[in-house]
Amino acid sequence: MKIDGNLIAERILKDLEKKVIKLKKKKVTPCLAIILIGKDHPSKTYVNQKKIKGEGIKVKISIFKFEDLSFEELKKLVDKLNNNPDVHGIIIQRPLPVQIDEIAARQIVAPKKDVDGFLPNSKFNEPIAEAVLEILKTVFEQKPADEFVSWLKAKKIVVVGKGRTGGRPIINLFRKLGIEPVIIDSKTKKPAEIVKSADILISTVGKHGIIRTNEVKKGAILIGIGMHKGEDGKLYPDYNQEEIANIASYYTPVPGGVGPVNVAMLLKNLIKNL
């Protein structure tokens, strides 16, 4: 069964909009500042989605666009946003240009405004990881909610890839729940056998053919984080969606899978900050 990420996101956003209305009655308007540097097309598209969804629930989205920017100039801007009480969350959109060190850039956002959850001392989980949990809760919804973590612990969870923006935050959040997923990376021996054993398979690589249909266990739950651009210019997950529909009990499509839920969970972090 195809998992409708747009539907999940819409449910979350409707709930958030009610909270925003209550905040506005108290003269508080949630504000998210997004800094976008460079010409990366996917980044521009993603930032635009954040703006559309945020403004759709009456959140203020302030976008700072630059063709180029030095680290010193970036720090000066972030310091100003950190000290602005009307700004409640700050995002430095990745990827960053080569002259800006990504780790150093993450450190300059105040922890209380780190709604992307990048800092070690952030009070937020990274939205992509929260999105995966939210999707899995949808699969689990027919059972008592307080048994969700026990249900996860009973499953063999395999995460393919451990990159900073995909696999790692998901792995970290599972570990916070007391769950140790099996991790596949470039050094893993016999990865196909591990993939075949997964009850829940989360692929975060972003390369064509990483997940082969005949290596997925019948009835597995498949969540696709990684995406790549096909020859037709469209985005695709790490697996063949048409083929996997006949194998997986549930799977996320591209587009309309994890992406919309990721944006919704980011906005949830922002509003949680108030």
What are the tokens at 9? 């996101």
Let me know whether 158 and 252 are in one domain.
Answer: yes
Q: Which long-range contacts (CB under 8 A, 24 or more apart) does 141-144 make?
A: none
Whole domain around residue 42: which residue ranges?
Answer: 26-112
Q: What's this model's pTM, rounded to 2 decimal places?
A: 0.94
Please report whether residue 119 resides in a domain.
Answer: no
**Number of domain units in the chain:** 2
Overall average pLDDT of the 18-43 stretch = 92
Could you give the dihedral angle defined by the CA atoms of residues 151, 153, 158 and 161, in that order, rounded to the nearest 10 degrees? 110
Structure token pair of residue 170 = 């998901």
- Asked whether residue 103 carries a pLDDT value surpassing 90, the answer given is no
The answer to whether residues 186 and 149 belong to one domain is: yes
| pLDDT exceeds cutoff 80 at 43 | yes
Does residue 142 surpass a pLDDT of 70?
no
- Asked if residue 173 belongs to a domain, the reply is yes
User: Is the pLDDT at 219 greater than 70, yes or no?
Assistant: yes
